Amino acid sequence: MNLKIKRILKITLPLLLGVFLVWYSLSKVSVDELLVYLKKSDYSWIILGMVLGFLSHLSRAYRWLFMLEPMGYKIRFGNSIMAVFATYLINYTIPRAGEVARASILTNYEDVPFEKGFGTIVAERIADLIVMLGIISITLFLQFDFIYGFLIEKFNPIKIVIGLILLGFLIVLFLRYVKKSNSKIALKIRTFINGLIEGALSIFKMKKKWAFIFHTLFIWGMYLLMFYITSFSIEELHGISVGAILIGFISASFSIAATNGGIGSYPIAIYAAFSIFGIAEDPSIAFGWIMWASQTLMIIIFGGISLIYLPIYNRKKSKSKS
């Protein structure tokens, strides 16, 4: 398969999957029923959720400054904000292209070498991954009895134990293979794992590491609070348990990686998580669409403004270059 076909498939497959999942999620609930939920929703909670999402993006833009400063680059906060919003918007069209565009914006307007800017973005993702793993671990700890009971009810306990032992055995075999093999795949995986460790440790070498850690926790705190607050917009979800919120949030977060910005997959992921807690299908999918649509609308507005305003904001610097 040549490189051109691979690039086309990278763009088209997530989009096609998104279209299919949009159809599937809408087929699971009456469109008329969905419209009823949208009409009777309390939009004050939805707007508050959007504000919290906006704050998380501002914090992400500010956190980026801490990573660039030790390398000798003092970029303008305005450029950082617009680069972040542009990233999210572009990722709705071409997966992962937003990160490339974000580094390119710094190169064009702040003279930060592309590889250095992109390296900081990778390090950011490592920090986010660590927090996400922390949220998953806390959820498993808090909801262990419930998750264990659910698995026991749905699956044969002996099969679960055998499955866990087999999984552990496969993980050990995989790690041994990665450690000792000199194949291209093993080397790539080893490089990736070493990069994760190095990136994680580099956070603690920053001058403003505690500010970086604070903003990282703030970003994810806003994500969680945004998810929880928006649930108040649907009356049927009032009194939803912390466990349902945590598992729903985790499921929805992973869905964003499945398709461009979670198109189609987001409502299904929330429904799948909420169904474990016996929450009805219609309000679950309606909530998923409200969450996804409200945050997407914010990204479209501010991402669009950012892409248009970036050259205007930097026109003085562009003139001085010429």
Q: How do residues 29-70 score in pLDDT, each as one tens digit?
A: 666 667 777 788 999 999 999 999 999 999 999 999 988 887
How far apart, in whole angstroms, are the C-alpha atoms of residue 298 and residue 287?
17
- Domain contains 138: yes
Predicted confidence at residue 230, as pLDDT, reads 95
Given a cut of 80, whether residue 252 has pLDDT beyond it is: yes
How many Cβ atoms are within 10 Å of 18's Cβ, its own excluded?
20
Predicted confidence at residue 202, as pLDDT, reads 62
The pLDDT mean for the chain works out to 82
pLDDT band at 154 (very low <50, low <70, confident <90, very high): low
Contacts with 266 (C-beta within 8 Å, 6 or more apart), sequence order: 252, 255, 256, 288, 289, 291, 292
Predicted confidence at residue 156, as pLDDT, reads 67
Predicted confidence at residue 17, as pLDDT, reads 55
Show the beta-strand stretches assigned E in the chain. Answer: none
Average pLDDT over residues 174-183: 80
Q: What burial class does residue 57 get, using C-beta atoms within 10 Å of its C-beta: 0-12 exposed, 13-18 middle, 19+ buried?
A: buried
- Domain contains 257: yes
pLDDT band at 281 (very low <50, low <70, confident <90, very high): confident
How far apart, in whole angstroms, are the C-alpha atoms of residue 21 and residue 258?
10
Q: Are 261 and 268 in contact (CB under 8 A)?
A: no
Given a cut of 90, whether residue 245 has pLDDT beyond it is: yes
- Domain contains 4: no
How far apart, in whole angstroms, are the C-alpha atoms of residue 2 and residue 157?
46
Average pLDDT over residues 208-216: 89
- Domain contains 320: no
Domain assignment of residue 103, given as a range: 27-154+207-315
Given a cut of 90, whether residue 322 has pLDDT beyond it is: no
- Domain contains 184: no
Average pLDDT over residues 257-275: 83
- Domain contains 10: no
Given a cut of 60, whether residue 308 has pLDDT beyond it is: yes
- Domain contains 35: yes
- Note the pLDDT tens digit of each residue in 57-116: 999 999 999 888 877 888 899 999 999 999 888 888 776 777 888 888 888 888 888 888
- Domain contains 290: yes
Predicted confidence at residue 134, as pLDDT, reads 92
Given a cut of 70, whether residue 14 has pLDDT beyond it is: no
Average pLDDT over residues 293-304: 90
With CA atoms as reference, report the closest residue to 240 among 253, 227, 258: 227
Predicted confidence at residue 62, as pLDDT, reads 95
Average pLDDT over residues 278-286: 88
Of the listed ranges 124-128, 203-207, 224-228, the one predicted with least confidence? 203-207
Predicted confidence at residue 92, as pLDDT, reads 80
Who wins on pLDDT, 112 or 224? Answer: 224
Predicted confidence at residue 61, as pLDDT, reads 94
Given a cut of 80, whether residue 135 has pLDDT beyond it is: yes
Percent of the chain with pLDDT over 70: 80
Number of separate domains in the chain: 1
